[in-house]
Amino acid sequence: MQKEMEPVGALSKVDGVGELSDQAKAWSEACRHLSPMVGSDAFERWFKAAQLGRAVDGVAVVEVPNEIHQVWIETNYIDELRAALGEVFEDLVQVRIEVVEAGEARGEGADAEDAGEKSPDWFPETLPDEVPDRFDKRLKRAGLNPSFTFDGFVVGANSQFAHAACEAVADGRGGAYNPLFIYGGPGLGKTHLMQAVGQEWLKRSVPAKVVYFTCERFTNEFIEAIRKGDLARFRNRYRSAELMLIDDVQFLSGKDRSQEEFFHTFNTLMDGRCQLILTSDRPASEIKQLEPRLVSRFECGLTVELQPPAFETRLAILHKKVEEWGVRVEEGIVRMLAERLKTNVRRLEGGLMRVGTYASLAGERVTQEKVEHLLRDLFREENSRQVTIDSIQRLVAEHFDIRLADMTSRRRPASIAGPRQVAMYLSRTLTKSSLIEIGEAFGGRDHGTVIHAVRKVAGLMETDGELRDRVERIQSDLRR
């Protein structure tokens, strides 16, 4: 349960500000302290567009409009900002700066609905006037990001096969690859590649109807359509296209009604000879609580994997971005980023963007020590292997030589139920997930089953040395 921070009595000093929310009052009060600390010029430049987001559990989140503000404030004014907010919240422990783009919801709940949203308005009825070029208009209408092109994608051994499959679909040789199912970890270019196919279709065939959407959006719009009693319109929108690009299908996990709707959408599109490209963070057969009939539909075309790129590919990606963005970063620093940021191209890009921005604003040579400081959170994320229920289930299944699917199945022989209980125990002790979340992740079991498993494994570990050794070995593998 999160606890909202109570501003100290100082807030009353800004009572005169009328209708403002508590958040706005607290920020206004913090600014009163901050402005003299940083000087009015710096305040105008860096804090005018900022505002206070969440303030819970000792953490105050300051929202800024872009990464330039974020990096600059973190690097130059974090102490002053902490001191100013400390005047307002006496239980302040940490200050975080987050980028919130214009138009995004602010403060509490800003992350829920919009998270992961990548496309602009979906099939707007009228196109906005500010889009000057016709091709740009068509990209926008399809929901495509103009920078996700084949030219902008660096191919390495990690992506060769996926790239070749996408090129085949792009130039019409991919008839048998339907659906094309691309899977791989976060930030490895799945969306980029699938949208590159979309751009090619739009370029070549003039009236091609290309549509991109995320499964999160599909689910949200489906719920909304049910609420408004407007399913016919929803179906009309989702069931007519020549090329349908469907991102993040793992989002359908456990959402039974959306899966049912999606199943019919999928069939209608396939019957209508629509080419489909799907992406997921894992193979279809490993998406939990996904109906078997959907798994088999997803697997009936071609499945390709995107893996993390090797050092040379990471370097080539960085060189390409340096050129594209026109940033000036020394080769030694570029190599340092390629060496240290290995698992996620989005993070690699983020690192380069921050260093490049800093270099141009500070007008000074960026040293390796500076980069250590600027990117400390990215380096930390890179090094800390996050223990998730998912990784626990995988590793326990491997250690006990059972199928991953048995973690969520109803099967009860001791050779399966035992390891499953070990996995529940580890999920409870190594992650922050609640009993209910753990039960859900293990095939929709109730929280009593999880409590029983945790107690049982903890008790057995007291008396059974062999089991204890096994569990400890799994624990240390998880942390590695």
Could you tell me which residues are annotated as the binding site for ATP? 187, 189-191
In the complex, least distance from residue 312 CB atom to ligand ATP, rounded to whole angstroms: 12
- Residue with the CB atom nearest ligand ATP in the bound state: 189
Tokens of 80: 């002053």
Site for ligand ATP in 460-479 (CB under 6 A): none
Q: Is 138 in the site for ligand ATP (CB under 6 A)?
A: no
In the complex, least distance from residue 159 CB atom to ligand ATP, rounded to whole angstroms: 6
In the complex, least distance from residue 143 CB atom to ligand ATP, rounded to whole angstroms: 14
What does the CA dihedral 269, 271, 274, 279 come to, rounded to 10 degrees? 60
Task: Name the one range near ligand ATP by CB under 6 A: 19-27, 74-82, 153-161, 328-336.
Answer: 153-161
Among the listed residues 51, 119, 159, 265, the single contact to ligand ATP using CB under 6 A: 159
Closer Cβ to ligand ATP, 215 or 345, answer by number: 345
Closer Cβ to ligand ATP, 7 or 309, answer by number: 309
CA contacts within 13 A on the Cβ side of 273 = 2
CA–CA distance, 107 with 362 (Å, rounded to integer) = 30
Distance, CA of 51 to chain centre: 23
In the complex, least distance from residue 83 CB atom to ligand ATP, rounded to whole angstroms: 36
In the complex, least distance from residue 155 CB atom to ligand ATP, rounded to whole angstroms: 7
Closer Cβ to ligand ATP, 140 or 445, answer by number: 140
User: Do 276 and 212 contact (CB within 8 A), yes or no?
Assistant: no
| 3 state SS for 329-383 | CCHHHHHHHHHHCCCCHHHHHHHHHHHHHHHHHHCCCCCHHHHHHHCHHHHHHHH
Numbered residues of the known binding site: 187, 189-191
CA–CA distance, 396 with 382 (Å, rounded to integer) = 23
Site size toward ligand ATP (CB under 6 A) is 18
In the complex, least distance from residue 154 CB atom to ligand ATP, rounded to whole angstroms: 4
SS3 state of residue 41: helix
Closer Cβ to ligand ATP, 317 or 454, answer by number: 317
Tokens 């089991």: give the residue. Answer: 467
- Give the number of other CB atoms < 10 A from CB of residue 291: 15
Closer Cβ to ligand ATP, 345 or 355, answer by number: 345
Closer Cβ to ligand ATP, 138 or 347, answer by number: 347
Q: Is 187 in the site for ligand ATP (CB under 6 A)?
A: yes
**Rg of the chain in Å (alpha carbons):** 25
Per-residue x/- marks for ligand ATP, 329-368, CB under 6 A?
----------------xx--x-------------------
Task: Name the one range near ligand ATP by CB under 6 A: 21-29, 150-158, 351-359, 384-392.
Answer: 150-158
Closer Cβ to ligand ATP, 189 or 301, answer by number: 189
Asked if the peptide bond before residue 292 counts as cis, ω within 30 degrees of 0, the response is no
Q: Is 190 in the site for ligand ATP (CB under 6 A)?
A: yes
Q: 412: Cβ–Cβ under 8 A, 6 or more apart, which residues?
A: none
**What is the strand order of the sheet 59-64 is part of?**
51-56, 59-64, 94-99
User: Do 143 and 120 contact (CB within 8 A), yes or no?
Assistant: yes
CA–CA distance, 228 with 410 (Å, rounded to integer) = 37
Q: Is 191 in the site for ligand ATP (CB under 6 A)?
A: yes
In the complex, least distance from residue 345 CB atom to ligand ATP, rounded to whole angstroms: 3
User: What pairs with residue 95 in β-bridges?
Assistant: 60
Q: Is 281 in the site for ligand ATP (CB under 6 A)?
A: yes
Mode of pairing for the β-strands spanning 210-214 and 302-306: unpaired
Among the listed residues 38, 55, 92, 154, the single contact to ligand ATP using CB under 6 A: 154
Among the listed residues 143, 189, 308, 351, the single contact to ligand ATP using CB under 6 A: 189
Applying CB under 6 A, the residues found at the interface with ligand ATP are 148, 152-154, 159, 184, 186-192, 281, 317, 345-346, 349
